[in-house]
């Protein structure tokens, strides 16, 4: 199969990167693509089928005999595209839609025609609910929810695999997202990019450090640059009053009458009466540093500090009850500043990239899969840092039938005999592929290592992963993956 039309006639040398320069299509690639299309159409004609660009053109032709087949491939109404069957004799009867076009994967292009939060993507193949679609994100989303419109059709609301809206920055520029059309939504295969969650946690930690500085009577400095238009500048901490803010602009201190402290959607914001000039840098200093002398050796005893425990907790310290002042542990600091639902740690198993027959049995009945059944393909260890944390487990993979209709069964274990999650995917014929995307959570309640594993099996059939019976595909990057995250309760 030659390269796709989207790549041959792409806007840029590197897809989605305008700075790479405009792409000039090669005539040799165009001829190869055209020859492939012609051979496909000829093959369809040999099999008594026909291809129509719109449903209206198909409906206008009642000449084919009863049970004749036809494809509609580019109707402006995507719901009209699909496979049709003739019902009735020659020159009579009607056409009935019997299925979607047989495309398993569809590649879309986001060239930046839309906005970060209203993506516009294009495809050379009509989108349907039976096909997996992926595209590289042109620019990161700045808020949520986010929509995507394919080929100018009604926008679909992007949802994570768990049914949530992506967080701001969750769809990072350059990342490739995969999902399916589901009603009025575009459901991603993954729940949320861990990189964006880590970035949010790092930002929260930075804010916490600034608030800790204020609590120590230290100074927090926020730098800005004016653009001649904006008068509002979000602050990293809440100084409580404009009197606690000192602004230095271009080396000159500004009068307090020239700015105020306001709250925009609960965010503390420095507001000027006039927009700072374009290109001029300025700083907002919040808080006041107070010099603290060093007590003489032996002058501070436990009875003098036992009443300031609350203050010491706020500063990241605690009274031990033994007359000593001790540092809080990393876990105590995490629990103090990270909100519930934050990712504490994430571990990933070595991807399973093997292409070999899997015949081991996992019964396809109403019994819980056991840890000795099937073939283990993935395993990873993770040690919780809190007894209240929960572990989120994500498994993805692709199976291909090696023996006709095949039902592949997966089971996820946490070291116990019974599986904690199981499921299956059925392929229609030899060489047909099926996608697995599974997720589950549980709370270990202990601080000992947890072993998470995935086993694959079937009943009386043979299947393979990461390719077909002819061999592995895509050099090992087409691999099954297992990721386990610790989530703060």
CATH number, position 463: 2.60.120.1340
pLDDT at site 304: 56
Average pLDDT, the chain: 82
- Domain annotation covers residue 8: no
Domain count, the chain: 4
Do residues 210 and 179 share a domain? Answer: no
Specify whether 365 is located in the same domain as 448. yes
d(CA 393, CA 183): 27
In a domain, 481, yes or no: yes
103-117, 124-138, 193-207: least confident range: 193-207
| Separation of alpha carbons 456 and 350, rounded Å | 16
Band the pLDDT of 288: cuts 50, 70, 90. Answer: low
Q: In whole angstroms, how far apart are CA 25 and each of 21, 31, 45, 151?
A: 13, 11, 29, 21
Among 43-57, 352-366, 426-440, 461-475, which is the least confidently predicted range? 43-57
**Residue 311 and residue 413 share a domain:** no
| pLDDT at residue 35 in the model | 79
Q: Are 430 and 405 in contact (CB under 8 A)?
A: no
455 or 215: which leads in pLDDT? 455
Q: Residue 175's pLDDT is what? A: 85
Check residue 366 and give its pLDDT.
94
Range of 171's domain?
105-192
**Residue labelled with tokens 């003098």:** 304
Indicate whether 230 pLDDT > 70: yes
Last residue of a domain, one of 254, 286, 318: 286
Number of other residues whose CB lies within 10 A of the CB of residue 160: 19
Indicate the pLDDT class of residue 303, thresholds 50, 70 and 90: low
Give residue 56's pLDDT. Answer: 94
Q: Do 353 and 458 fall within a single domain?
A: yes
Of residues 168 and 314, which shows the higher confidence score? 168
Evaluate whether residue 398 is within a structural domain: yes
Is the pTM value of this prediction over 0.85? no
Sheet holding 176-182, edge to edge: 105-107, 132-136, 176-182, 185-188, 156-159, 147-150, 118-121
CA dihedral defined by 163, 166, 170, 172, rounded to 10 degrees?
100
Q: Are residues 258 and 276 in the same domain?
A: yes
Average pLDDT rounded to a whole number, residues 271-282: 92
- Is there a domain that residue 71 lies in? no
Same domain, 356 and 472: yes
Q: What is the pLDDT of residues 321-350, one digit of tens each?
A: 444 445 556 666 666 677 888 898 999 999
CA 439 to chain centre: 14
Of 186 and 191, which is predicted with more confidence? 186
Of 175, 192, 209, which residue constitutes the final position of a domain?
A: 192
- Whether 473 and 348 map to the same domain: the answer is yes
Q: Is the pLDDT of residue 308 over 50?
A: no
Element (H, E) at 333: helix 330-337
User: 314 with 215: CB under 8 angstroms?
Assistant: yes
Phi, psi of 332 (to 5 degrees): -65, -40
pLDDT band at 111 (very low <50, low <70, confident <90, very high): confident
Cα(295)–Cα(315) distance, integer angstroms: 18
Distance CA 346, CA 385 (A): 12
Distance CA 211, CA 314 (A): 10
Mean pLDDT calculated for residue range 187-202: 63
What is residue 167's predicted lDDT score, i.e. its pLDDT? 84
Q: Are 430 and 404 in contact (CB under 8 A)?
A: yes
- Helix (H), strand (E), coil (C) string for 93-112: CEEEEEECCCCCEEECECCC
Residue 39: what pLDDT? 64
Evaluate the CA torsion angle 334, 337, 342, 343 in order and state its sign: negative
d(CA 102, CA 73): 11
What does the block give as tokens for 249?
């602009």
- Bigger pLDDT: 282 vs 210: 282
Q: Which residue has the higher pLDDT, 35 or 296?
A: 35
Residues 6+ apart with CB under 8 A from 337: 204, 205, 208
246-266 pLDDT, tens digit per residue, is 899 988 889 988 999 999 888
Q: From start to end of 170-313, where are the E strands?
A: 176-182, 185-188, 220-225, 232-234, 245-249, 252-253, 259-264, 267-272, 281-286
Could you read off the pLDDT of 126-140 as tens digits, one per residue?
Answer: 787 878 898 999 998
Does 474 reside within a domain? yes
The per-residue pLDDT for 231 is 92
Taking the C-alpha atoms of residue 162 and residue 167, their distance in angstroms, rounded to an integer, is 13
DSSP 3-state of 413: strand
396 and 375 in one domain?
Answer: yes
90 lies in a domain? no
Mean pLDDT along residues 180-193: 82
227 shares its domain with 274: yes
Q: At residue 238, does pLDDT exceed 80? A: yes
Higher pLDDT, 205 or 55: 55
Q: What is the pLDDT of residues 371-428, one digit of tens each?
A: 999 999 999 999 998 899 999 999 999 999 887 888 899 999 999 999 999 999 988 8
Of residues 364 and 201, more confidence is placed in 364
Residues 318 and 336 sit within 8 Å (Cβ to Cβ): no
Confidence of residue 7 (pLDDT cuts 50, 70, 90): confident
Of 46, 92, 47, 43, the closest CA to residue 66 belongs to 92
Whether 210 has a pLDDT exceeding 50, the answer reads: yes
Pair 378, 476 in one domain: yes
Considering only residues 49 and 107, tell me which one the structure prediction assigns the higher pLDDT: 107
Are residues 420 and 359 located together in one domain of the fold? yes
Last residue of a domain, one of 192, 210, 234: 192
What is the C-alpha separation between 407 and 372, in angstroms, rounded? Answer: 19
- DSSP label at 32? H
Task: Note whether residue 239 is domain-resident.
Answer: yes
Comparing 80-89, 189-198, 245-254, 427-436, the range with the smallest average pLDDT is: 189-198
For 86, the token pair is 């003739």
pLDDT at 368 over 90: yes
What would the mean pLDDT of 314-319 be, rounded to a whole number? 47
| Residue 241 in tokens | 């009053």
Inside any domain, residue 281: yes
pLDDT band at 75, cuts 50/70/90? confident
373 shares its domain with 320: no
């Amino acid at each position: 199969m030659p390269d796709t039309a989207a790549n041959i006639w792409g806007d840029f040398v590197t897809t989605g990167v305008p700075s790479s320069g405009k792409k000039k299509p090669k005539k040799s690639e165009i001829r190869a693509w055209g020859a492939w299309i012609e051979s496909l159409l000829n093959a369809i004609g040999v099999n008594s089928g026909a291809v129509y660009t719109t449903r209206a053109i198909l409906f206008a032709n009642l000449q084919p005999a009863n049970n004749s087949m036809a494809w509609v491939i580019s109707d402006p109404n995507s719901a009209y595209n699909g496979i049709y069957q003739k019902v009735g004799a020659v020159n009579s009867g009607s056409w009935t839609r019997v299925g979607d076009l047989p495309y398993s994967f569809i590649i879309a292009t986001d060239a930046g025609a839309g906005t970060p939060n209203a993506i516009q993507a294009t495809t050379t193949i009509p989108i349907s609910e039976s096909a997996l679609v992926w595209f590289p994100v042109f620019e990161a989303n700045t808020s949520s929810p986010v929509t995507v419109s394919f080929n100018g059709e009604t926008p679909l609301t992007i949802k994570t695999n768990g049914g949530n809206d992506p967080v701001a920055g969750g769809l990072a520029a350059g990342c490739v997202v995969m999902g399916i059309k589901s009603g009025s939504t575009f459901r991603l295969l993954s729940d949320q990019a861990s990189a964006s969650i880590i970035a949010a946690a790092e930002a929260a930690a930075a804010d916490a450090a600034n608030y800790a500085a204020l609590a120590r009577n230290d100074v927090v400095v926020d730098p800005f640059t004016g653009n001649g238009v904006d008068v509002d500048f979000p602050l990293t901490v809440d100084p409580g009053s404009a009197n606690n803010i000192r602004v230095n602009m271009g080396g000159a201190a500004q009068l307090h009458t020239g700015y105020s402290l306001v709250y925009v959607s609960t965010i503390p914001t420095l507001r000027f009466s006039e927009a700072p000039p374009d290109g001029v840098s300025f700083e907002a200093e919040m808080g006041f540093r107070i010099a603290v002398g060093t007590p003489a050796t032996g002058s501070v005893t436990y009875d003098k500090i036992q009443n300031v425990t609350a203050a010491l907790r706020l500063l990241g310290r605690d009274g031990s009850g033994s007359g000593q002042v001790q540092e809080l542990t990393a876990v105590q600091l995490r629990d103090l500043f990270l909100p519930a639902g934050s990712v504490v740690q994430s571990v990933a198993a070595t991807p399973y990239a093997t292409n070999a027959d899997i015949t081991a049995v996992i019964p396809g009945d109403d019994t819980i899969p056991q840890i000795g059944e099937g073939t283990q393909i993935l395993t990873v260890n993770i040690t919780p840092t809190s007894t209240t944390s929960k572990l989120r487990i994500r498994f993805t993979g692709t199976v291909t039938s090696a023996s006709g209709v095949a039902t592949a069964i997966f089971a996820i274990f946490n070291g116990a005999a019974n599986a904690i999650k199981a499921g299956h995917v059925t392929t229609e014929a030899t060489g047909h592929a099926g996608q697995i995307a599974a997720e589950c959570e549980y709370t270990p309640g202990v601080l000992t290592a947890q072993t998470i594993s995935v086993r694959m099996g079937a009943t009386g059939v043979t299947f393979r992963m990461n390719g077909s019976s002819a061999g592995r595909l895509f050099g090992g990057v087409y691999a099954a993956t297992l990721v386990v995250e610790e989530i703060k309760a």
